[in-house]
A and B are shown apart, each in its own frame.
Chain A
Amino acid sequence: AQTVTQSQPEMSVQEAETVTLSCTYDTSESDYYLFWYKQPPSRQMILVIRQEAYKQQNATENRFSVNFQKAAKSFSLKISDSQLGDAAMYFCAYRSAWGGSEKLVFGKGTKLTVNP
């Protein structure tokens, strides 16, 4: 079974600075997808960014980017120019690709605090 580990229960960053959230995963599959979801206090689950394992290029969405290291099974999220609205729980998630289960396997989350 696949597992996802987020080793930082909490992180903090100053407004306008950059922060990196860590995620590692364990799988024997070669094709899969990885996601970062954001959960603000309103408890919505909001997709931040996604990565296909077969793509070598790291995904980027505006201020959010990932560092995907397939051999190391690492998928970290970098938030640049942090804003107060970025404060939330961040969850890393794994999903099998073709032929596998469609369920998302989540890490335990990292609580991000943004200090003004």
Chain B
Amino acid sequence: DAGVIQSPRHEVTEMGQEVTLRCKPISGHNSLFWYRQTMMRGLELLIYFNNNVPIDDSGMPEDRFSAKMPNASFSTLKIQPSEPRDSAVYFCASTYSGGHTNQPQHFGDGTRLSIL
């Protein structure tokens, strides 16, 4: 089975540029999560979607960050304009959510983003 697929695996770009991270969740999963991992703050949720609808975006740092999920098989996280402090590893995860279930979240391999 294909897992959660993220692209690119690495991204290096200059401050001020637009960055787009992509995620394809596991087929059949209806919830998708974007997490950010830094040394200082650890792993933190940015936003999550259920059935393509954003449910909790309280972790999105500021207006420079935006996320979309146009269909069940694709999501993007965009940073515009990017800043050096956005450098981190960004993970996408997906799961099936329905009733009182304890389905674990499956993570992609992450995108290591470096803003120069």
Contacts and interface: CB of A to CB of B under 8 A. Distances in A.
Interface of A: 33, 35, 37, 42-47, 50, 52, 91, 97-98, 101-109
B113 to A, nearest CB: 13
B107 A45 contact: yes
Interface in B22-39: 31, 33, 35
Contact of A101 (B44, B56, B91, B112): B56
Contacts of A43: 89, 109-110, 112
Interface string B91-116: 10101010110101111011010000
Shortest Cβ-Cβ A-B pairs, 9 listed? A45-B107, A106-B43, A103-B45, A98-B100, A108-B42, A47-B104, A33-B102, A43-B110, A52-B102
Instruction: Label chain A's interface by main secondary structure.
Output: loop
A50 B104 contact: yes
Contacts of B102: 33, 50, 52, 97
B56 A107 contact: no
